[in-house]
Amino acid sequence: MAPSTTLMRSEEWDDGGAALGPRDRPPMSASPPRVLIIGAGSRGRTYAEATRTSSNGIVVGVVEPDPYKRMDLGRKHIWGPQGRDRPAEGESFADWTDFVAYEKQRRQRAAVGETGLPEAVDAVFICVLDEMHRAVIEAMVELGGLHIMCEKPLATSLEDCTAIYKALRQNEAAGTGFANQHVFSIGHVLRYSPHNMLLRKLLLEDRVIGDILSVVHTEPVGWWHFTHSYVRGNWRREQTSAPSLLTKSCHDIDVLLWLLCSPASYKSGRATAPHLPSTVSSSGSLQLFRRSRKPVAAGSATNCLSCPAEPDCKYSAKRIYVDDRLRGLGTGNIRWPVSIVMPDIEDYAINGSLLGAKDALLHTLAEDYGPDTPDSEVAKRNWFGRCVFESDNDVCDDQVVVVTWDEDELPLPPDTLEQHSLNPLADRLQHRGAKTATFHMVAQTKKMCDRYTNFYGVDGEIFADSETITVEDFRTGEKTVHRPPRESKGHGGGDDGLTRQFILAVDRVKNHGMAPDQAQREIIGCTLEEIIRSHALVFCAEAARHGKAVVDWAPWWAREVEGHLA
């Protein structure tokens, strides 16, 4: 039978009314949510742009220690659009502690009746280094009155994750009114792409393959992308960053739990208890990017620009960042990944020429360290010209995680029993049967972050890649291909989707009287417990990997998470 093709227009959560299409911008309220961007790197810039184009909020301030990045974001999104060359009061800060101090003073000035003050910020996007998340989140919670979106991962250690979770839960419990409570979101943008939202609907609401029995999910990082971020870049060392399973793949672990663990509906009165995992196991290591794999022809060279093997090496920093074969400067590209190597590359390209930018970029790539350089100096910055086989990286470039669930049947609600009477073949377990999820993170691939997944169910199977969702129905023999719209290049529309939903939730609380916990569930569609659970499972998998063991989830969670929340 010939396959049918369906072009689906996925929907995003709203407040219970008409759902939003993937390209719809919510209507602006009379007092739109005012947003502060903390960290003007690539993620901060992404959320600022998404706020402008896809949300009903406005960016009103930026916190960033690098003067160029701070001014660049401000010119594009804050004071520049208002025709000003410089920031006004409350619009620009070099450090997040400066913002906290300013906001405390602003509130004191307002309390004594001073007029003409800038309006308060309603929400913050935290896009600083991963290891700074806990300090910034705790400070924002203590300041009070702010809704928070934190870029993933939540933190780089389980201790910090549970501390953040505890602070957020205590803030909820202590709230005496909406002003003392807040909406909290995490940068798990894959939940918000039209593709994955349709996939979840097909699996959990439409049940097109019945109960899920097994899932095999692959994240292909990309052969040169891995070297950029996890061999030469910020996330190369577990001690100064975190395991690559957290920094790269917490997206994927979260999506698997969202599909296999979370309730099908987040609406009040309809959500069921999560189907919690039974066991977690993992294996993996740093396989390729080691000194033992270094080409013999490279000799003792430690930097690409002085290496005799550089012309033939696919990992050549000159080839990746300068030449025109990939995304290098030679293509005219002065954004990612070139801008990560040199944040001010745009100034060279604008004030001079690409030739001047090339000279400056080559100078940066030539920087290296020797055996006498203190490890503390090596660890504190990136070395993008360093040989990938001579780097100080230690995170896994190949890892497998296996999660199992035991059968956990719940009493069926009346409406479900009525549906069963209409369909005698319906499964009583409703996605709470025994099942297995296998996740594979692999660096050496041509695909770059183009994930693909196989779902095996009792009535059919699904293959999903970044473009399509193909459903094979065992009962009818039909094959249906869904092609969800791709909203943007940012995680398949997930960047815009997350930004839209977070700011929409803030707007509903600020301007329409919605309770924060309702906005959290129904608009953001992710509870605090889900956020901590997906992060905790990463650390559980790492414990399993290091211990070469199969870990029982329930006692591990009770000991390692709940035990620290008393």
What is the average pLDDT value for the chain, to the nearest integer?
90
Under CATH, domain 4-190+496-526 is a member of which superfamily? NAD(P)-binding Rossmann-like Domain (3.40.50.720)
Q: DSSP string covering 89-115, please?
A: TTSEESSHHHHHHHHHHHHHHHHTT--
Q: DSSP string covering 356-422, please?
A: HHHHHHHHHHT----TTS-HHHHHTS--TTB-TTSS---S-SEEEEEEEE-----PPPHHHHHHHHH
Q: Give the pLDDT band of residue 491 (cuts 50, 70, 90).
A: low
Provide the residue ranges of all domains of the chain, joining segments of one domain with +: 4-190+496-526, 211-288+394-458+531-561, 291-379
> What is the per-residue pLDDT for 354?
78
CA dist., res. 21 & res. 205, Å (int): 18
261 DSSP β-pair partners: none
Q: DSSP string covering 165-233, please?
A: HHHHHHHHHH-SSGGG---EEE--GGGGSHHHHHHHIIIIIS-TT-SEEEEEEEEE--HHHHIIIIISS
φ, ψ of residue 175 in degrees (nearest 5) = -65, 130
Q: Is the pTM of this model over 0.75?
A: yes
Residue 8 has pLDDT above 50, yes or no: no
CA dist., res. 167 & res. 136, Å (int): 12
Q: pLDDT tens-digit profile of 438-466?
A: 999 999 999 998 999 999 999 999 999 98
Please name which of 134, 197, 121, 131 lies closest in space to residue 168, comparing C-alpha atoms.
134
Q: Give the pLDDT band of residue 20 (cuts 50, 70, 90).
A: very low
Residue 186 has pLDDT above 70, yes or no: yes
Q: Which fold has domain 211-288+394-458+531-561?
A: Dihydrodipicolinate Reductase; domain 2 (3.30.360)
Q: Give the pLDDT band of residue 409 (cuts 50, 70, 90).
A: confident
Residue 533 has pLDDT above 90, yes or no: yes
Q: pLDDT tens-digit profile of 374-390?
A: 999 999 999 999 999 99
